[in-house]
Structure 1
């Protein structure tokens, strides 16, 4: 019980000490290694702990059983919206519905970024959706260019187009050295999702 009171007191004090982010940047987490979404969610947790308001737009997941989505609604100041077909392999030619969902997700990210309601906007898996051609690269780059100075923008997913990399302030490439998927070990609940 004492720990719960400490958490409640801390969350209350974080909300009382909120100051808008003075300078935001654009971060990109890409590459074939594990950890891109985890880095984005880590940013959300850290920002929430400092009283920042965080909005996450999931480009691939809609009704996906993920550990992070189960807990994100518990963090103060964090909200999320999910679009997309769920986890899929690269389709040869995406349906118009799939492309429309990607467009809706991008429009939602733009709305949130420009609303003044959020300090951090995370666009999960936007890079792969763009790399697969579900979105126009120029539209994603324009969104980056339109980012208000006080908003931190985080883009995750493999296959980040070079133009997105060039437009970002910070780019981290996760490199796969070894992965259990290569040995046929499937994603594990609570670890990979």
Structure 2
């Protein structure tokens, strides 16, 4: 199916549930309509959605060091993670420019920015130079205002109530 209009930039952010879920639903919809999709996920591993997208033949890559929220990195370890990130970015994200993708998801790019693993300028430049037809979906908490201003769609997920407040841990098939 031909992509018949210029691609927009979506930002799904905030402290509520649904950022990844929304982006994965959009990716599934696009794939179902014949669009070429690439999903790039940061900090997540062993997710249910990866298993399904692999079965569907959707390009899906993960950058999987432990999220800095869960690991106290030494300065040297953190520098290594930043180097790994840049290598991953060059091999997976920058190839989007050449890859003829209709829709690209950068899931959890927000934490990569807020923890300074990804520089804001790097993402900003990518947004400005992405192919015109490529729909770009950015998810995660703490998306910087400058990136939000570049969005055509800006959605703030608000936490009203969540089971973790009652001590219920993330559940397989629901949260991941």
| TM superposition score normalised by structure 1 | 0.82
Aligned pairs, how many?
A: 172
Taking only aligned residues, the RMSD between alpha carbons, in angstroms, comes to 1.7
Matches within 5 A, 1:16-165: 18-61=1-44, 64-75=45-56, 78-89=58-69, 91=72, 95-107=78-90, 108-112=92-96, 114-165=97-148
Secondary structure of the residue that 2:149 maps to in structure 1?
A: helix
Distance 1:74 1:186 in 2: 28
Deviation at 1:88, TM superposition (A): 4.9
Question: What stretches of structure 1 of length at least 5 have no aligned partner?
Answer: 1-17
Determine if the alignment matches structure 1 residue 175 to structure 2 residue 158: yes
The answer to whether the 8 Å contact 1:84/1:98 transfers is no
Secondary structure of the residue that 2:56 maps to in structure 1?
A: coil
Distance 1:148 1:29 in 2: 21
More RCO (CA 8 Å, sep 6+): 2
Deviation at 1:157, TM superposition (A): 0.6
Deviation at 1:99, TM superposition (A): 1.3
Distance 1:21 1:152 in 2: 11
Distance 1:53 1:22 in 2: 14
Structure whose CA Rg is larger: 1
Distance 1:173 1:48 in 2: 25
Secondary structure of the residue that 2:69 maps to in structure 1?
A: coil
Distance 1:88 1:121 in 2: 24
Secondary structure of the residue that 1:192 maps to in structure 2?
A: coil
Secondary structure of the residue that 2:17 maps to in structure 1?
A: coil
Secondary structure of the residue that 1:34 maps to in structure 2?
A: coil
The answer to whether the 8 Å contact 1:83/1:104 transfers is no
The answer to whether the 8 Å contact 2:68/2:115 transfers is no
- 1:9-58 deviation per Cα after TM superposition (whole angstroms, max 9, x unaligned): xxxxxxxxx21353200101100001111111011100001000100111
Secondary structure of the residue that 1:177 maps to in structure 2?
A: coil
- 1:104-125 deviation per Cα after TM superposition (whole angstroms, max 9, x unaligned): 343221211x114211111010
The answer to whether the 8 Å contact 1:144/1:168 transfers is no
